[in-house]
Chains A and B, each alone.
Chain A
Amino acid sequence: MPRKGDTLEQKSPAEFFAENKNIAGFDNPGKSLYTTVRELVENSLDAAESLGRLPSIEVTIEEVTQKQLNKIRQVVNHERLDEELYQDHETEDAKKKRIVKENKDRERLKKQLEKKGESADAIEGKLKDIETKNAAASSKTLKTFYTVTVKDNGMGMPHKDIPDLLGRVLSGTKYGVKQTRGKFGLGAKMALIWSKMSTGLPIRIRSARVSQSFISSYTLDIDIQRNEPNVHEAKMIDNPDRWHGSELSVTILGNWQYYRSKIIKYLRQIAVITPYSHFSFTFKAEDASNDIHVVFARRTEKMPEPPKATKHHPKSVDLELVKQLIQKTKYNKLQQFLCKEFDAINSEHAGRLIEEMRSGAEPETDPRDLTNKQILMLHQLLHAAKFSDPSGNHLSPAGEYNLRLGISKELHPDLVATYQGDAHVLEGHAFVVEAAVSIGGRDIKPGINIFRFANRIPLLFEGGSDVITKTALKRISWPSYKINPTSDKVGVFVSIVSTKIPYKGAGKEYIADDMQEMVQAVKQSIQQCCLQLKVKIVKQQAARDQHQRRKNLVKYIPNAARAVFTVLESMAESRAVGPKRKRMQDDDDILAPVKQMQTSEDTLIARLTEHVAKIDSDMALEYQVQQGMAEGIRQDVYLVPLSAQHEFGRELHASTCVIKLLTAL
């Protein structure tokens, strides 16, 4: 019971997420910056893809210092009156201690450098470097803010819907299921909540729909408690160029320093999985020398089919969902309801199911008239009965072509193999696993590098317990595919698409490793890639061996010749002690020439070199023949007969060609 004075308050969805930021990936300022970029980029991708346009996305992060922010917010930047009031104030004691420590460090470093015998100038230079670094580190304690702007060429938003689309966290289930990029359906709204919480600055939006004569321009924020948009300004600007798309700009507290690599990694990986998109990324630092500009260019114009919405599979529905479907359905007969609202149930099947319910429900009963008990029965039956699996046709995997292209363009590997598995099913949801394995390339470390994608977005956090990581590291026997898992640069790319990705953990950052179907599908896809690679690797190795054979053999000729000649020399000077040598010497005396210095070590070297050359050319020919056969390069060659009157003889087969003789008549 609430105590007197307490009031029971209803919590808005916006409030819930504001209080539990970490679930949506806003754990700390750094992660928030990363998640903001990611949510906006994924929104943009969806906006362009749903229009069937090739996405072009511009991401800009601009550093904003506290001072600048205050200027924007029109807060006066005061000089500090009472230094001791501030957290970063250094007391006298602390200052003394710091100076002593710094001097000590300096001395130690100096000694070390002197030991190495570096010149005095170099030492001074290094000391300076360290000091500037220290100074930089201490100034880092100041909070920094960032304006994140993402611009796309998507479908844009209708003018009047913009406040609701961005300023209201919507709950409620979607009608039907569909493979979607977002994890929570929050998208930019969470960034909006975060900006409101950290800087209080509103979000700025410019958006135009296709061939719309104006651009909507909004400045708005969200009333977290009431879960309502709060529009500061709404304008319509002329759109002479007929630009379409959206541009969102939000200013938030962040940490670029720690999350720079993650953000760039994210963009690179999303470029891998969507090679048909163009991304440009700009970071504008306070100090212009720290600016970054990266472009991930478009490599193909072929986009995968967009995912289609599908009906709920009976195995996947929960009780609440059944009730909602009943409420929303436009069919007023139970039999129709079952076969129209669910996947994998036809009319005859629906009739049998209703008969099985046996609780007074008839095929003609209006689903809305079902009693609570009957609904419970129906729900139970849906889970107990046998249904065919969802087909997976509604899913939109990246496709082997795109995956291969994306990897090639971003990593430039020496070898890459891709595989797309069939649709599998997990708790009534279809899923498709695609994999690629690459060898070599730039910006990739030796060892197994894992790239995880779920519904065509990269997963960067909490990889340790992920099904993909675990499978790649533990369940694949790399050496059996001629791949060295520690010294080769191996890239493992696995993309899983599903109407429901079985995430684990609050942040939805990894996929559980405890489902047999998933483990099997992932393992099989990687293995298939490895099998393809093995063939190529073996071929490459053969080619390399072919190339190096002569070199390797020639290298050892002097060793062999010297050892043999040493014994020959020694034999030439002593008499045979046993029957074996005597017999051989009688047959063919090679020791006499050694004694008379007609045969020397050089003779042996020359003979061995000749032999190696002969073997090498034989093997090379054999290799060529084998390669030729394997590759199946066949070419018809014709010689013009001298006269029109001729007849062909029989075919003569050789290992490299087939010859037909012809005779003039």
Chain B
Amino acid sequence: MSSKKRRDAPAEKALAARKRIKSSTEVLAQVNKLAAILKGSTAVARTLDGLHLPQTFREVVEKDADAVLDEVEGAIYQAALSILNGEGFTYDIPSRGRANQQYIPELDRIVLKDSKAPRTFASVKTCRSAVITTRILQLIHELCQKRIHVTKRDLFYTDVKLFEEQNNSDNILDDVACMLGCTRSSLHVVASEKGVVVGDLRFREDGDEIDCQRMGVGGKAIPPNVDKVDGIRSNAMFILLVEKDAAFMRLAEDRFYRTYPCIIMTAKGQPDVASRLFLRRLKEVLKIPVLALVDSDPYGLRILSVYMKGSMNMSYDSSNLTTPDIKWLGVRPSDLDRFNIPEQCRLPMTDEDIKTGKKLMEEDFIMANPEWVKELEIMTKTKVKAEIQALSSFGFQYLSEVYLPLKLQEGDWI
């Protein structure tokens, strides 16, 4: 009896919260305000060159097939010349290691410093990678000439014997992109699609008209090469970035975007390059706020940071991949108590979690936002984490019918 009472108390509160939700226009008032500020701010996007920093940094740009072709031919020409002169050949590969990365607070993202390492054929240590680099250059040359795209997996299978593991070809592909000074997607090699999008969004993909409101529950797969996307149109008020597939499906099935016009997308965990490119493109074209719904654990925050500041692995391409200014909507550590998430849905953090959490707190981009620091402090102090699904304890549709509207109405993002 008593245990039932205890369980009912938060449920009642949850239902009471539902009554506080007003009409959809009123709910979206705060979002509108944010969007207006965003559209009004004519802050020019700052670039690395514009900062006039004393050191040189390395960044890559989007290049068309011919430009890439010229870069590849230049590199191979150089190598051939050197071979014919009897000097073997060497590539200068920009180092992508952690030691060569730096966070630029003015830009709010990670960039590569200018250190390079020679990759010489006639050295036992670098011989293999020099040969793989040559082979990849040749394959890219072929792709750019034929103007076709392949996946990383395809690339690996063209010469399994030499590459041995897909890791090798993937890594060297990034090296090559860095060396040629272009983004990885300009190399005509794409990762297989992972992200999905649904909601108030229409665009043309390679000439085909796509309407993301008619994509059923599963949503539209985010195209691997964003350069084939154009004609983006939308009446959405905001973009809702969801960490997980499960929450995405809930929102898609409940047609959340009908009540509150928005675009919902997810990359199902760690975002791939295509999803990050797509999000950046949407934000650039539509100029609407991006709100994130991630788990209340260090991992969720890490995912958010990849969207915003770029990943360590792809830091050379951070200018093309990152979407700064994503608002953290939920689930935040402070929400757990505010929404009376029951105990059984909160999980104790493992030692590993706590370590990651503390490490995050020391990272520049978290420290740049005091409110995020506060949330992280709550997390590491209470040592409790929760997933988005914890909200389902009040009913499966609590997320789409109560939690999100309430958060939007209160403008509760940081």
A615 CB-CB contact with B under 8 Å: yes
Tell me the dominant secondary structure on chain A's binding face: helix
Q: CA–CA, A552 to B66, complex, Å?
A: 36
Q: Are A567 and B83 in contact (CB under 8 A)?
A: no
Report if B306 contacts A (CB, 8 A).
no
Tell me the bound Cα distance from A590 to B131 in angstroms.
21
Write the B141-162 contact mask toward A (1 if CB under 8 angstroms, else 0): 1100100000000000000001
Instruction: Verify if A5 is at the interface (C-beta below 8 Å from B).
Output: no
A564 close to B138 (CB less than 8 A): yes
**Cβ contacts A to B, 23 pairs, < 8 Å:** A556-B121, A559-B162, A563-B135, A564-B83, A564-B134, A564-B138, A567-B72, A567-B137, A570-B141, A574-B145, A577-B66, A577-B73, A578-B67, A580-B77, A581-B74, A585-B77, A588-B81, A590-B77, A604-B80, A604-B84, A608-B83, A612-B88, A614-B86
Interface assignment of B402: CB less than 8 Å from any CB of chain A = no
| Binary interface encoding of chain A residues 568-584 relative to chain B, with 1 for a CB under 8 A from any of its CBs, else 0 | 10110010111111001
In Å, the complex CA distance between A35 and B162 comes to: 58
| A564-B89, A581-B77 given; 7 more Cβ-contact pairs under 8 Å | A545-B124, A552-B127, A553-B127, A567-B72, A567-B137, A577-B70, A615-B88
* A584 lies within 8 A of B78 (CB): yes
The reply to whether the CB of B18 lies closer than 8 angstroms to some CB of chain A is no
With beta carbons under 8 angstroms apart, the residue of B72, B74, B122 that contacts A611 is: B122
Asked if A603 lies at the interface with its beta carbon under 8 angstroms from chain B, I say: yes
Question: When the two chains form their complex, are residues B121 and A584 in contact, meaning their CB atoms are under 8 A apart?
Answer: no
A-to-B contact residues, CB < 8 Å: 545, 548-549, 552-553, 556, 559-561, 563-564, 566-568, 570-571, 574, 576-581, 584-585, 588, 590, 599, 603-604, 607-608, 610-612, 614-615
Complex alpha-carbon distance, A612 and B127, angstroms = 11
Does residue B79 face the partner (Cβ distance < 8 Å to A)?
Answer: yes
Interface flag for B128 (CB, 8 Å): yes
Select from chain A the residue with minimum beta-carbon distance to B128: A556
The answer for the CA separation of A560 and B73 in the assembled complex, in Å, is: 15
A553 and B73 contact, CB distance less than 8 A: no
Q: Is the CB of A556 within 8 A of B131?
A: yes
Query: With an 8 A cutoff between CB atoms, is B27 at the interface?
Result: no
Q: B80, A590: Cβ atoms under 8 Å?
A: yes
Cβ A563 vs Cβ B134 within 8 A: yes
**Once the chains bind, are B80 and A568 in contact (CB under 8 Å)?**
yes
Q: Which residues in window 38-90 of B have CB below 8 A to A? A: 66-67, 69-74, 76-81, 83-84, 86-89
Residues of A near B137 (CB, < 8 A) are 563, 567
Q: Which residues of A contact B76 (CB under 8 A)?
A: 564, 567-568, 571
Q: A553-B127, A590-B84 are in contact. Are A571 and B121 (CB under 8 A)?
A: no
Q: Are A571 and B135 in contact (CB under 8 A)?
A: no
Residues in B whose Cβ lies below 8 Å from that of A567: 72-73, 76, 137-138, 141
Enumerate chain B residues within 8 angstroms of A553, measured Cβ to Cβ.
121-122, 124, 127
Residue of chain A at shortest CB distance from B162: A559
B84 touches A599 (CB 8 A): yes
Option from A560, A577, A603 in Cβ contact (under 8 Å) with B69: A577
Query: Is B130 interfacial (CB-CB < 8 Å)?
Result: yes
Quick one: which of A545, A560, A574, A604 contacts B131, CB cutoff 8 A? A560
Query: Are A566 and B122 closer than 8 Å at their CB atoms?
Result: no
Bound: A585/B88 CA distance, A:
19
A599 cross-chain contacts in B, Cβ below 8 A: 84
